Structure 1
Amino acid sequence: MRVFVTGATGHLGSALVPELQRHGHQAVGLARSDASAARLAGWGAEVVRGDLDDLDTLRAAADAADGVVHLAFRHDAMEAGDLTGAADSDLAAVRAIADVLAGTGKPFLGTSGTGLLAGAGLDRPGTEDDTLPGGYRIDAENLVVDLAAKQIRSSVVRLPIVHGPLDTGFIRSLIGFARRNGFSAYVGSGTNRWSSVHTLDAARLYRLALESAPAGARLHAVHDGGVEFRQIAEALGRGLGLPARSISKDQAPEYVGYLAHFVTIDNPTTATRTRELLDWEPTEIGLLEDLAQSHYFG
């Protein structure tokens, strides 16, 4: 299968592209820079130059592919506090790709987050059946799922915290904030929970979903269903040789910047249906064990 991948040299894309290549697929990656293009070429992937806002390029690459995996997201805008701009760009990209896939039956995988379910008011771990009517990133998730009605084999992978040596996301940011502050912060008692998965396990799920997920499926890439945030902060502190310290919710923007909201969410989730549907079983180490490795603190 010739697979167009946005975000192909990002954290998850850096694992997914080699995963696709190893299993007989031809990856075609979107590259914004010469460095990204060189990385893709080194993996044996084809290169499409452009970025997430170049909608004509997205349409052409999707049209020429047998399937599409949409990983890219404007994290630069999110980190700058422009959540609306980041979400709008994502939604426009989904619409552009859908324009050319309608009626083809081709697979199209979108990306969302389990953390969105933290706003659903659940009194139990979130499941693949839980949905929300709209909002930040939810609009794009719902659109991808609804594309099944347009003869696209569309599905969405909801990601928790993704960790591992390739990580460039939230854990790396927390490490940076802890180094700046001189301590690893958690809010209040820190008993709120984050779900998580290793990068390699998540990449394998995307590949399995591309190959066989039914149209309209919501999938959870979850290994650890709920790790208390205080445990995460303490593990980061041990790795950095710094204390872990409680802060108030009002202090969070000062000490953890754009992550102020995220460090307070309680997001236990399960992946029971996903595991059964795609015969997916995580095999890599869990989050706390990974945070005991040297790669995060070298």
Structure 2
Amino acid sequence: MRVFVTGGSGFIGSAVVPELLGAGHRVLALARSDKSAETLRAAGAEVHRGSLDDPEDLARAAAGTDGVIHLAFNHDDFLNMTRAVETDLGVIEAIGAALAGSDRPFVATSGTLLLAAIDGVATEDDTPAPGIHRGDCDRAALALAARGVRSSVVRLAPTVHGRGDQGFVPRLIGIAREKGVAAYVGDGTNRWPAAHRLDAARLYRRALESAPAGTALHGAADEGVPFKDIAAAMGRGLDVPVKSIPADEAQAHFGWLGMAASIDNATSSERTRKLLGWKPEQPGLIADLEEGHYF
């Protein structure tokens, strides 16, 4: 297939592009800067210059391909989530309209943190609560199945890890380094799912190739790593003490990560594995931290 990929030069996208090319697909990748364009061409992809702010342009690019993987999200608007979500919804709607009635695949991206309010272990059958967050994008993408698009959504674990990670884990390490202590909230039994970026890339390819229309998929190789264990691995890596802090001090200690550090987000990917034959092969989160490259 000739596949249009947004976010192809990002941390996960830069693994998805070679995964697709290695499987014999051709890639047309969105680039919003000269640097991204150069990186994508070096990886073997064709380049489409543009941005998420022009959804009609992205729709035209998608219309000329056999399928779409949509990874890009405007993280520049992280503190203005309403605007970022509205932009993403516009992109999903425009690309969905371009693919309507074609049964071509459209793989969108969401997150398992949206399921954190669920008691116990979240499954692919669970849905995010209504609200102005990426759960709206999740629902919009899955709804395209009714319009003749083979749409699916990969709900990524909050921690997609590996070399080059710039997400939650390196930020938590930075906080531990700055404060001289690796902290966890309460008893630290709240759980974070995780997946290695190379395993996530393989999941996106399998979704593109064979996910049924209207399917939610979970990118969680580790179902739920206790946050206390994550803090302990960071403490070993930094050679700093590990300690518990009260819940009412989480925001003061972790800043905007305070809520995420307190969340219990155990997530099953059993259905995803059975449906697509997805078998994570890379190191789990704790093993990856123990390799030392994060420090």
User: TM-score category by the smaller chain?
Assistant: over 0.9
Q: Give the corresponding residue for 2:219.
A: 221
The C-alpha deviation readout for 1:146-203, integer Å capped at 9, x for no partner, is: 1000000000111112111132211121122222222222222211000111111110
1:25-40 aligned within 5 A: 25-40=25-40
Deviations 1:74-115 (A, max 9, x none): 22322xx22222222222221121121111111000111111
1:221-263 alpha-carbon deviations (Å, 9 max, x no partner): 1111111011101111211222223223333333322212111
The alpha-carbon deviation at position 38 of structure 1 amounts to 0.7
Partner of residue 126 from structure 1, selected from 122, 127, 130: 122
Structure 2 gap segments, 5+ residues each? none
Distance 1:252 1:159 in 2: 24
What amino acid maps onto 1:125 in structure 2? V
Equivalent residue for 1:70? 70
> Where does 1:114-193 land on structure 2 (aligned, <5 Å)?
114-120=112-118, 122=119, 124-135=120-131, 136-160=133-157, 161-193=159-191
Whole-angstrom distance in 2 between the partners of 1:145 and 1:167: 28
Aligned twin of 2:52: 52
- Residue 4, structure 1, aligned to residue 13, structure 2: no
Amino acid at match of 2:149: I
What is aligned with 1:239?
237
> How far is 1:61 from its partner?
1.4
Q: Structure 1 counterpart of 2:156, which letter?
A: L
Work out the CA distance in 2 between the residues paired with 1:248 and 1:257. 14
One-letter amino acid of the counterpart of residue 184, structure 2 = Y
Task: Name the TM-score, length of structure 1 as normaliser.
Answer: 0.94
Bigger shift: residues 282-291 or 90-99: 90-99
Per-residue Cα deviation, 1:47-98 (whole angstroms, up to 9, x for no partner): 11122222232112111111111111122322xx222222222222211211
Report the Cα offset of residue 133 of structure 1.
4.7
| In structure 1, C-alpha distance between the alignment counterparts of 2:46 and 2:117, rounded to whole Å | 39
User: 1:132 aligns to what SS in structure 2?
Assistant: coil
Q: Which stretch has the larger CA shift, 244-253 or 152-161?
A: 244-253
Measure, in 2, the Cα distance between the counterparts of 1:20 and 1:247. Answer: 44
SS in 1 for 2:293: helix
One-letter amino acid of the structure 2 residue matched with residue 16 of structure 1: V
**Structure 1 residue 118, shift from structure 2 partner:** 0.8
Identity fraction in percent:
54
Q: Which amino acid aligns with 1:184?
A: A
Taking the aligned partners of 2:50 and 2:249, their CA distance within structure 1 comes to 39
CA distance, structure 2, for counterparts of residue 262 and residue 198 of structure 1: 19
Q: Is the 8 A contact 2:222 2:285 kept in 1?
A: yes
Q: Which runs of 5+ in 1 are unaligned?
A: none
Residue 253 (1) aligns with residue 256 (2): no
Moved more, 236-245 or 269-278: 236-245
CA distance in 2, matches of 1:37, 1:248: 46
CA distance in structure 2 between the partners assigned to 1:42 and 1:262 by the alignment: 36
